[in-house]
Amino acid sequence: MINRLFACCCLGALICASAQPLLAATEPKAEFNWRAAPSEEQIASLTLRQAILRAFARNPKIAEAAAQIHVNEGDLDAAKSAWYPQISLQGSGGRSHQTDSSGSLNNSGSAGVTLSQLLYDFGRTGGAIDEQYALSDAYRFALYDTMTTVGQDTLQAYLQVKRYQALVTASQSNVKSLEHVRDIAKLRADAGLSSQSDVLQAETRIAGMHATLEQYRAQQRSALAQLTVLTGVVPVTLPELPEALLKQQITLDKIGYQDSAAVRSAQAKQMAAQQRIKQASSNHWPTIKVQAGRTRYENDSRSYWDDELQLQVEAPLYQGGLVNAKTRSAEGEREAAQAAIQQAKLDINQHASTAYADMIGAQQRQQAGEAQLASAEHTRNVYADEYKLSKRSLNDLLSVEQDVFQADSMRTSALYDGWDATVRYAAAVDNLLDIMGIDREKSSGTTLPSLN
């Protein structure tokens, strides 16, 4: 029986030892050229959802969070391995002297195999496994939170491009309107109804508006460059923004903290800390395992086998206060994790409240801007007719043109400030990606959203 056990154990150990180098040799090695800059390509159109998905595939923070899940998978397997049989081979060479009641032996070498199996350790191994399961949830929710952050950054960059596109359009419209005023002034000057100074004054305003237009174009190029860095593409056009963002339900008094990835990640870390307390306190109790082994000894006169099959109990009596120190440390980690939960909730409340206040303010400014724009456009039409009849000066007409542009600019800025606040609120309450139709549950672990 012992001979059969020894042969099986040796065969199993040799198979495991020989398989590991083979797997390592056949596994392909990933190549990464850190000197190369991130690639970019030009596409015709880039929707908001495509921009977010491309940012996911490109952002290293998401890759880092996914890699942390890989690390946890290895740690979980390592914790589970304690319940599996442990097989080891040992051998030694050189002389050793053994003395007992029957005489003495001079051994020249030994070789053998040992098989051990953990039976019970009062929760140490179970606690280690449960800790890794809790950390698995923590890292998965941390990945979700990172995806929300990257999605928010991409959305805000997208909005900045759209904002400056709208301001460029408003500037171009005002340039055309000023050119129309200049043409009227030129006709009046040619007819002798006014002086050439009116024409020069209109051209000065046109030159100033061209400067404003180029400033907005420069800001648009800067915003587009930022979006390109995030997504890796240079879009020719950007489609309109989805109205679903503006239709989300605002519930400041009933925020679902339990649905937030940041809160759930902190909660999972607290559970992991509780398991570490369990592990630390269980070190007061013994470890029970069974061990079998067979060792061959060689000496000058004869050779012999040493067979063992034992039930081993290891119980620490004194370790200099190590167990209590580890327990206190684990309790401190649990308290820190509990504080992190409250901090995550506080951050959600603060960001959501601020975003909601900015959203209301932007809506009110937009409404005021639209009313001001309608009034300024009506005044412009009246002033234009009165200028033709010499009842108004050119300064009056240019002044109202400036009013029209300011009202249009304020309305546009308020519109996109409202969009930005809406994005920040959705990110704070952690439903931004749900609104965009991106399911993070299907994208957990190493499976990230595709670009389809």
According to CATH, the superfamily of the domain at 2-440 is: Outer membrane efflux proteins (OEP) (1.20.1600.10)
Span 92-149, pLDDT tens digits = 776 776 676 666 666 667 788 888 888 888 888 888 898 889 999 999 999 999 999 9
87 vs 303 pLDDT, higher one: 87
Q: Answer whether residue 17 shows pLDDT above 50.
A: no
Nearest Cα to 299, choosing from 114, 98, 112? 98
Residue ranges per domain, the chain? 2-440
> In the beta sheet, which residues pair with residue 106?
97
pLDDT category at 218 given cuts 50, 70, 90 is: very high
pLDDT category at 427 given cuts 50, 70, 90 is: very high
Burial of 275 (0-12, 13-18, 19+ CB in 10 A): buried
363 vs 194 pLDDT, higher one: 363
Diameter of the chain measured on Cα atoms = 138
Rounded Cα gap, residues 287 and 314, in angstroms: 5
The pTM of the whole model exceeds 0.85: no
Q: Work out the mean pLDDT of the chain and round it to a whole number.
A: 82
Contact 69, 136 (CB under 8 A): yes
- Which DSSP category does 117 fall into? E
